[in-house]
Amino acid sequence: MSGAAFARGYNALKEQIDAPIAAFLSSCVHCGMCAEACLFFTETGDPQYTPIRKVEPLRRVWEQEYTFWGKLSKALGLSKPLTDQDLTDWETLVYDSCTLCGRCSMVCPVGNDIAYMIRKTREGMAAAGHAPEGLIGATQRAITIGSPMGVKLPALQAQIRHTEKEFDLKIPVDVEGTDYLCMLSSMEIMNFPEYIGSIARIFKQADVSWTLSSEAFEATNSGIQIGVSDIAAQLVQRIVDAAEKLKVKAVISPECGHAYMAIRWEGPNLVGKRFGFKVVHILEVLDELRAQGRLKVADRETRKLTYHDPCQIGRRGGVLEQPRNLINMVAENFVEMPEAGKMNWCCGAGGGVSTNERADALRLKTFARKKSQLDAVNPDALVSACSNCRIHLEEGLEEYHMDIPLLSLTETIADHLSDT
Amino acid sequence: MTDAEFLLWVRGPAFNIALFIMLAGIVVRFMEILLMGRKTNLAEARGSEMAGGLNTIWRRTLPDADTFRRSGFTIIAGNVFHIGLFVVIFLFVPHILVFERLFGVSWAGLPSNIVDATTVVTIVALLAVLVHRVKDPVLRMLSNFSDYLAWLVTILPLITGWLAFNRVGLSGSTLIGLHILSVELLMVLFPFTKLSHAFTLVLARWYNGAIAGYKGVQS
Amino acid sequence: MKKDQTIGEVLRERGISRRSFLKFCASTASLMALPPSMIPVIAATLEKARRPSVIWLSFQECTGCTESITRSDSSTLEDLIFNVISLDYHHTLQACAGHFAEHIREQVIKDNAGKYILIVDGSIPVKDGGVYSTIAGMSNEQILKETAAHAAAIVAVGTCSAYGGIPKADPNPTGAVSVSDLIKDKPIVNVPGCPPIPNVITGVLVQFLTFGLPELDALGRPKAFYGQSIHDRCYRRPFYDKGLFADSFDDEGARKGWCLYKLGCKGPTTYNACATEKWNFGTSFPIQAGHPCLGCSEPDFWDAGSFYSALSTPTENIGKTAIYATAGGLLAGAAIGGVLRARKQAAVKAHQRVTIDDLDKES
Amino acid sequence: MTVHGTPGTSPGCGSGSPCEIPTGNLIPLLHEIRHALERWLDSGEEHAIDLRGIPMAPGEEDQLLATLGEGELHADLSLTGKSVVIETRFPAVWLVTHYNTDERIVGRYIEVCEMPAILKSQTEDARAGLEYLGKLLNENNLQ
């Protein structure tokens, strides 16, 4: 471990602190309410998981570098400077026990956006070499191979061929001048290939002009999860380049929650310029098609369905009504879990936690929160719109011996469309 | 120093010093925050920063039902002592006279005996908050010296004020003098402890709401 | 009149009935806030007490205190006590003057050494050798020290002698001090007030004759008379409790007799018997007359901020302080904020690009 | 008993206008008198209340006096200034008022007893009277 790495991390923390963070840290009254909003605390009862505590390295840097009194007390030896050991101690708190779900940011009485600060803290942690192995590997694969899961173009092409054959339709690739460039997450290629077919069927019926890109199909962004803006910008740039090359009007984020966050909200800021195209989530596109009457439903789902709001799509992304409109279009019996919507509980796998094998046991433990939410409504099937959530939900349901089928919202829509 | 001299000192030079430190401190703290700046958001906005910010400033005062259920004690005790402090500070006629001297405006106060009762309730709530802070594992872990100091300088004026109003123990001048002195201690520490949340909270809530509002997200 | 008579003997000699004496004892007991059951005890003790010799010295004063006791418009029960004490020397009242008067003072000191009571009104100027007030070529300080040396006890009547009073008010041109500033080795009973309530002056003497040196508060005042504040005994206190205040001297609240706190009443910090004892034979007292208490029985009452600004308010110009503080804060904030901003910009400039090779700790 | 609304009294505050808020001392005072009267009847224990020691709003004392009323006995004493002793309409409850020579009140007590001490003949005075009577007889050779 080199001192140079710590200096780089320390500087990264200094770079991240802005007026909102200064306002947040000035306002914290140590009331502890964020703990009750965090599933890592509620499911373990361990006070170290209190969200605001996770930003302690950032707070120390703020206090000692950016407040007059903090600087003074540091000079007088009244406060300890941040050390590399502190970062080592905080690594599991910043990465393993935070999904950046932002639920704490909703309950803080003084209005602190704690998730915003943890995201920033990760910049310093990663730059100082304190990111978890799992995330480092995924990030390296994303840069070198093009996808965190190591999915390469041939794998996608195989899925495309398979899907074209299965549904007897054509999937456009690298078509210039379409309305939409559709992005995917590698989980959708590897684990849930039905997604590609669903999109193709829906768009065919609704007569949407769209394409995939062979140069940029991966929408997920490990750079954001690990907290390295430089890398995240590189990954976003690939999509920007593809979108500009294909001259599309808009880029569609896949169901994956943090991919949406990465392209829609962080993307322009990462690459440092406004996009010349729109970025929309697939649910926004589908709901718009629904509103325009371009989706025709053949039959309606009779099973009792409930919907899990992926944090980055709902609470942090603002796509809350669209999934409900869409489910109600195809289902007769849609029920809400308690606290659904903007206050929904995270599945436990977001923010890179699912990529971090070290956190597996903790991640499964916190699934108890989702279980109790599900138990309250006892649905026949669970719908969601994030492949990362889906993988973890499946694992969790199995772990807790719950026999509830898991559906992708896009696929559910596709399955109930009339073929005409 | 006789108690008359003491009262004169706290009403005179000491008050001036405390007021100066508090106001200058607040301004400095504000500028420390604001001058840190914020990058322009380049993502296409879906909503309004201003609307989100303003909404969150007041909306965050009211917790949602489930948060209330989980953090009931913190919310109730917190609200009781905050509302109590508001009533005691801003609706007690002798206090309003101080604000009148400072700002030139005054408003109607509450009957003093109601303020007196509110003071007792507020003190009890603050004591409960302290017990909670010491006993609750999360709060115990989060708490540092500054938290207890802030608690102390908040409850002291309430206690001394109650004693002064009810004229317990010492002479009238000493009681009022001690009360004013304890307020001055609060004023001096106000900008430099977490008590500063009283004004930075507006910024914090605004930023939170603005970040959300820009994205068209509820907060 | 013989010097060693008891008070009872003097009274009987003067044809004062026992009932009249009881009546006097009753009003005195009331004044001392003693239960009426104590009246017979006071009567019995006082009757047997020796008739004391008294020297009254007046220094820097306005004669208000003497006026207070000797109001000539009526003969009062309080006169009784002055009839029985042997007021041997009083600067202002004595008929004789000049060297003869001073001779009497010296004689009394000599004849009653260690037994006489010294009453002082007025403060003592000590600046410039005490030239600001002299009697028969002696400075007040000299007279006081000489007379106090053989006194049994000293009663400092009025706020001037008790605490310096108005002569001592800022900037105190004569260097006025109180009796207790100069005399440290004698029991001193302060009877402050500007002037003190006449009954209280006699009451203190009765108390002294009856029970000896009274219990004093921290400011040397007999607790029996100064034990409670004006505020605590004020009939307008219920208005204070209910938050009903007069805002000016001629508003509705003033007419309705509401609390005068906002008009600067010093009742809460003033310890005196005005609110129950009242003035002019129980007719009224300042608050009842519609004027806030000035706090005249407290030290430095003249310098304790405006008579008309409320006790809770700061005495100095806080509006100005607020403006200076804000301006100072803006300047300091701009300077500090500028430094912090520069520090942040330096950090941004010092940014080292993070690549995937930097992520591994081993790298 | 309507204490607050006793006819004939016009309570005032300060400069004579009606007093909105009484000190609230009136009713407790009447209770004190009642308890004292009970004790005196039971055990003969006497009780006195010094009205000057109790804060009263202007008019409240008038209300008290109107409530107590005037009973059968009214004695004017010529002391140093007048003193007036009346038995209120509640027997054994006395009102003793001392005036100075200007007929201003200098003291006022409510006494609960058989007879206020000030009414009783004083042995010291009696002794002096006896002496004077003897002297009178002696001087005039009336033995």
Q: What is the pLDDT along chain A (420 residues), one digit of tens a residue?
A: 467 899 999 999 999 999 999 999 999 999 999 999 999 999 999 999 999 999 999 999 999 999 988 888 888 988 889 999 999 999 999 999 999 999 999 999 999 999 999 999 999 999 999 999 999 999 999 999 988 888 899 999 999 999 999 999 999 999 999 999 999 998 888 888 899 999 999 999 999 999 999 999 999 999 999 999 999 999 999 999 999 999 999 999 999 899 999 999 999 999 999 999 999 999 999 999 999 999 999 889 999 999 999 999 999 999 999 999 999 999 999 999 999 999 999 999 999 999 999 999 999 999 999 999 999 999 999 999 999 999 999 999 999 999 999 999 999 999 998 875
Chain centre to alpha carbon of residue D30: 15
pLDDT at A104: 96
Contact between chains at B37 and C268 (C-beta distance less than 8 A): no
Among A96-105, B126-135, D5-14, the least confident range? D5-14
Among A74-78, A198-202, B45-49, B136-140, the least confident range? A74-78
Same domain, yes or no, for C82 and C182?
A: yes
Burial of C330 (C-beta count, 10 Å sphere; 0-12/13-18/19+): middle
Kindly state the average pLDDT of the residues B61-80.
Answer: 93
Compute the mean pLDDT over every residue in chain D, rounded to the nearest whole number: 80
SS3 (DSSP) at A275: coil
SS3 (DSSP) at D94: strand
Q: How far apart are CA C209 and CA C25, in angstroms?
A: 12
Contact between chains at C344 and A15 (C-beta distance less than 8 A): yes
pLDDT at C150: 93
Q: How far apart are CA C279 and CA C293, in angstroms?
A: 13
- The 10s digit of each residue's pLDDT in A166-201 is 999 999 999 999 999 999 998 888 888 899 999 999
Cβ atoms of A292 and A202 within 8 Å: the answer is: no
pLDDT at D18: 44
Query: Residues, chain C, total?
Result: 363
Q: Which residues, including other chains, have CB under 8 Å from residue C172's CB and lie 6 or more apart?
A: C164
Q: How far apart are CA C31 and CA D3, in angstroms?
A: 28
Determine, yes or no, domain membership for D6: no
Q: How far is CA A188 from CA A160, A197, A281, A384, B128, in A?
A: 12, 11, 15, 13, 52
Determine, yes or no, domain membership for C30: yes
pLDDT at C238: 87
Q: How far apart are CA B97 and CA B95, in angstroms?
A: 5
Q: Which residues, including other chains, have CB under 8 Å from residue A415's CB and lie 6 or more apart?
A: A198
- The 10s digit of each residue's pLDDT in B71-125 is 999 999 999 999 999 999 999 999 999 999 888 899 999 999 899 999 999 999 9
Choose between A118 and D50: higher pLDDT: A118
Give the CATH fold of the A136-289 domain: Rossmann fold (3.40.50)
Same domain, yes or no, for C58 and C159?
A: yes
Q: Which residues, including other chains, have CB under 8 Å from residue A165's CB and lie 6 or more apart?
A: none
Which secondary-structure segment (H or E) carries A410?
A: helix A409-415
Q: How far apart are CA A87 and CA A12, in angstroms?
A: 13
Q: Residues 60 to 89 of A: which have CB under 8 A from any B CB?
A: 66-69
Determine, yes or no, domain membership for D65: yes
pLDDT at residue D1 tops 70: no
Same domain, yes or no, for C143 and C247?
A: no
Query: Regarding beta strands C188-191 and D105-112, do their DSSP bridges make them parallel or antiparallel, or are they unpaired?
Result: unpaired
- Residue B151, number of CB atoms within 10 A of its CB: 19
Query: Domain holding C276: CATH number?
Result: 4.10.480.10
Q: How far apart are CA B194 and CA B43, in angstroms?
A: 34
pLDDT at C2: 56
Same domain, yes or no, for C256 and C119?
A: no
pLDDT at A216: 92
Q: How far apart are CA C345 and CA A8, in angstroms?
A: 15
Query: Domain holding D78: CATH number?
Result: 3.30.1370.140
pLDDT at A204: 93
Q: What is the ipTM of this complex?
A: 0.83
pLDDT at C198: 81
Q: How far apart are CA C323 and CA B23, in angstroms?
A: 9
pLDDT at residue D119 tops 60: yes
Q: How far apart are CA C297 and CA B171, in angstroms?
A: 14
Contact between chains at B8 and C303 (C-beta distance less than 8 A): yes
Query: Regarding beta strands D12-13 and D17-18, do their DSSP bridges make them parallel or antiparallel, or are they unpaired?
Result: antiparallel
Determine, yes or no, domain membership for D30: yes
Cβ atoms of A122 and A94 within 8 Å: the answer is: yes
Q: Number of structural domains, chain C? A: 3
Q: Which of B63, B139, B203 sits opposite A30 (nearest CB)?
A: B139
Q: What is the DSSP letter of A263?
A: I
In the structure, what pLDDT confidence band is assigned to residue D8 with cuts at 50, 70 and 90?
A: very low
Burial of D101 (C-beta count, 10 Å sphere; 0-12/13-18/19+): middle
Determine, yes or no, domain membership for C76: yes
β-bridge mates for residue A383, sequence order: A307, A407
Q: Strand order in A250-253's β-sheet?
A: A210-211, A180-182, A250-253, A278-281
The answer to whether residue D11 neighbours chain C at the CB level (below 8 Å) is no
Determine, yes or no, domain membership for C312: no
- The CATH architecture that domain A3-130 belongs to is Orthogonal Bundle (1.10)
Q: Please, how many CA atoms are within 13 Å of residue A36, restricted to the half-sphere of its CB?
A: 21
Determine, yes or no, domain membership for D121: yes
Determine, yes or no, domain membership for D64: yes
Among A174-183, B29-38, C80-89, D44-53, the least confident range? C80-89
pLDDT at A127: 95
pLDDT at residue D20 tops 70: no
Cβ atoms of B194 and B146 within 8 Å: the answer is: yes
Rounded to the nearest angstrom, the minimum Cα separation between A83 and chain B is 20
Same domain, yes or no, for C31 and C134?
A: yes
Same domain, yes or no, for C261 and C168?
A: no
Same domain, yes or no, for C156 and C18?
A: yes
Contact between chains at D80 and C77 (C-beta distance less than 8 A): yes
The answer to whether residue C351 neighbours chain A at the CB level (below 8 Å) is yes
Same domain, yes or no, for C237 and C222?
A: no
Give the CATH fold of the A296-415 domain: Rossmann fold (3.40.50)
Rounded to the nearest angstrom, the minimum Cα separation between B23 and chain A is 16
Rounded to the nearest angstrom, the minimum Cα separation between C41 and chain D is 13
Cβ atoms of C6 and C50 within 8 Å: the answer is: yes
Mark out chain A residues that contact chain C at CB-CB < 8 A. 1, 5, 8, 11-12, 14-15, 17, 65-68, 126-127, 129-131, 136, 139-140, 143-144, 226, 228, 230-231
Domain extent at residue D105: 12-139
Determine, yes or no, domain membership for D70: yes
Q: How far apart are CA C316 and CA C306, in angstroms?
A: 10
Query: Domain holding C62: CATH number?
Result: 3.40.50.700
Determine, yes or no, domain membership for D123: yes
Place of tokens 């806080």: C318
Q: Which residues, including other chains, have CB under 8 Å from residue A80's CB and lie 6 or more apart?
A: A60
Helix orientation angle between A133-144 and A229-246, rounded to the nearest 10 degrees:
30
Q: Residues 271 to 290 of C: which have CB under 8 A from any D CB?
A: 275-277, 280-283, 288-290
Query: Residues, chain D, total?
Result: 143
Determine, yes or no, domain membership for C311: no
Cβ atoms of A349 and A391 within 8 Å: the answer is: yes
What type of residue is A183?
A: M
Rounded to the nearest angstrom, the minimum Cα separation between C154 and chain D is 28
- Tell me which residues of chain C have a pLDDT lower than 70: 1-3, 33, 71-84, 95-96, 281, 361-363
Q: Number of structural domains, chain D? A: 1
Nearest alpha-carbon partner for A163 in A117, A134, A137, A197: A197
For A310-371, list the strands marked E by DSSP.
331-335
- The 10s digit of each residue's pLDDT in C48-68 is 888 788 888 999 999 888 888
Examine the fold and report which residue of C226, C256, C289 is the final residue of a domain before the chain moves on. C226
Determine, yes or no, domain membership for C244: yes
A226 neighbourhood in chain C, CB within 8 Å: 359
* Domain boundaries along the sequence of chain A: 3-130, 136-289, 296-415
Q: Please, how many CA atoms are within 13 Å of residue C279, restricted to the half-sphere of its CB?
A: 16
Closest residue of chain C to D79, computed from CA coordinates: C20
Same domain, yes or no, for C105 and C120?
A: yes
**Domains of chain B with bracketed CATH:** 3-38+64-196 (1.20.950.20)
Helix orientation angle between B197-215 and B49-59, rounded to the nearest 10 degrees:
140
Same domain, yes or no, for C240 and C326?
A: no
Q: How far apart are CA A350 and CA D117, in angstroms?
A: 95
pLDDT at A147: 87
In the structure, what pLDDT confidence band is assigned to residue D6 with cuts at 50, 70 and 90?
A: very low
The answer to whether residue B149 neighbours chain A at the CB level (below 8 Å) is no
Task: Assess whether chains A and D touch, using the rule of 3 or more C-beta pairs within 8 angstroms.
Answer: no
Domain extent at residue C339: 321-359
Establish whether domains A3-130 and A296-415 are of one fold. Answer: no
Closest residue of chain A to B198, computed from CA coordinates: A27
Q: How far apart are CA A398 and CA C241, in angstroms?
A: 68
Q: How far apart are CA B115 and CA A278, in angstroms?
A: 58
Determine, yes or no, domain membership for D4: no
